[in-house]
Amino acid sequence: MTERYQQMKHWLDSLGYHDYSLTPASEDASFRSYHRLSQGGQSWIVMDAPPEQESCDQFIHIAEKISAVGLTAPEIIEKNLQQGYLLLTDFGDTSYLSVLDTDTEASLYRDAMAALLTMQKRLDADDLPRYDENLLNREMDLFRDWFLRELLGIDLSESQLSRWDSIKKILIHSALEQPQVFVHRDYHSRNLMKIPAGNPGILDFQDAVKGPITYDLVSLLRDCYIDWPGARVDQLVLDYYILTIVNKLTDAKSDQFIHWFNQMGIQRHLKAIGIFSRLKIRDGKAGYLWDIPRTLNYLVQASADEASMMELSSLISELDLSARVASIS
């Protein structure tokens, strides 16, 4: 039993919980961990966020924002900010990922897109960090630093680095020219829970920012953990585009919105592949390697379809990334 785990148990004991069980509730890509507290037929979630690495303040702030507009975020029942613990309501084990199939996707995505629209329309994002040029750039460089260099042992040449910088500039410009709204930043099937009322239960929102209108839509529909036929995704993107027009979130033409969506997907998937690689190398979480081939395939398809991304398409081919990934996954 670690010292941190003992500290958490002492805190729960001090709150009056006794004869309970604690079991792991979910894996997280950050330094946070989650435990399910069960007692007398009831259950809660304990979030363990070591203060030297994570802050509970933003989680609490965003949870209150989301709940205030009628959406479903965990209720914070108890908190210990000095030690980094929160006691939360438990949404159960039924993530979107665990139940998404051809029979359920229409209703589940309808609920998720309705909740996303509410967040973008009603949540004030002016008090959140900006998804600015520096952040977008740092995220994409995770691909170069952790995937190419650390995982695959590839150092880009000066010519390739110049092309890489050009690719990033195009994607940054695309992100910054979009309407800027509340961005959850990890709005995907592992962070959405299927619940009986107020679906979906929304998790892992503590890194929310003010940023591009298509970012969370990409997270949802170009999910790194599940994929759908391109025609179905295209239809869902158009469905959401119509909602943004009706609700006056944008006045862009549909082809511009789709262009933004595709380029935002490229930016996000570059970042995601870099993070998956870092989780394996730095944090010893090898399971995320299995998500790289699907995510890289998105990049291959999207860069081939986007005329402005010819340089990225050629770089992926030149470095033989698909074959290299196949050999490690």
Q: Which domains does the chain have, with CATH numbers?
A: 3-89 (3.30.200.20), 96-328 (3.90.1200.10)
Tens of pLDDT along 51-85?
988 889 999 999 999 999 999 999 999 999 999 99
Instruction: Tell whether the model's pLDDT for residue 98 goes beyond 80.
Output: yes
Average pLDDT score over residue span 133-143: 98
Token readout for 302 is: 């999207």
What are the helix (H) ranges across 3-43? 3-14
Q: Is the pLDDT assigned to residue 317 strictly greater than 90?
A: yes
Q: How far apart are CA 52 and CA 244, in angstroms?
A: 40
Task: Using the predicted structure, report yes or no on whether residue 102 has a pLDDT greater than 80.
Answer: yes
pLDDT at 31: 80
Q: Is the preceding omega at residue 293 within 30 degrees of 0, hence cis?
A: no
Q: How confident is the model at residue 328 (pLDDT cuts 50, 70, 90)?
A: confident
Q: Is the dihedral of CA 93, 98, 104, 108 positive or negative?
A: positive
Average pLDDT over residues 188-193: 97
Whether residue 327 has pLDDT greater than 90: no
Residues 279 and 289: beta-carbon distance below 8 Å: no
Q: Which two tokens stand for residue 283?
A: 């944090």
Question: What integer pLDDT is reported at residue 55 of this predicted model?
Answer: 86
Percentage of residues of the chain with pLDDT beyond 90: 89
Asked if the model's pLDDT at residue 29 lies above 90, the reply is no
Over its C-alpha atoms, the chain yields an Rg (Å, rounded) of: 20
Going by C-alpha positions, the residue among 102, 182, 164 that lies closest to residue 316 is 164
- Give dist(CA 139, CA 270) in Å, integer: 8
Taking the C-alpha atoms of residue 146 and residue 51, their distance in angstroms, rounded to an integer, is 25
pLDDT at 329: 61
Residues in CB range of 159: below 8 A, 6 or more apart: none
Give every CB contact of residue 128 below 8 A, 6+ residues apart in sequence: 182, 208, 209, 210
| E runs forming strands in 264-327 | none
Over range 155-168, report the average pLDDT. 97
Task: Tell me the mean pLDDT in the region 155-174.
Answer: 97
- The whole-number average pLDDT for the span 317-326 is 94
What is the pLDDT averaged over residues 96-113? Answer: 97
d(CA 97, CA 37): 23
The band of 1, judged by pLDDT with boundaries at 50, 70 and 90, is low
**Mean pLDDT of the residues in the chain:** 95
* Contact between 223 and 265 (Cβ < 8 Å): no
Phi and psi based region of residue 95 (left: phi greater than 0; alpha: psi -120 to 50; beta: remaining): beta
**How much is the pLDDT for 264?**
98
* One-letter identity of residue 220: L
Handedness of CA 232, 233, 236, 242 (dihedral sign): negative
Q: What per-residue confidence (pLDDT) applies to 90?
A: 97
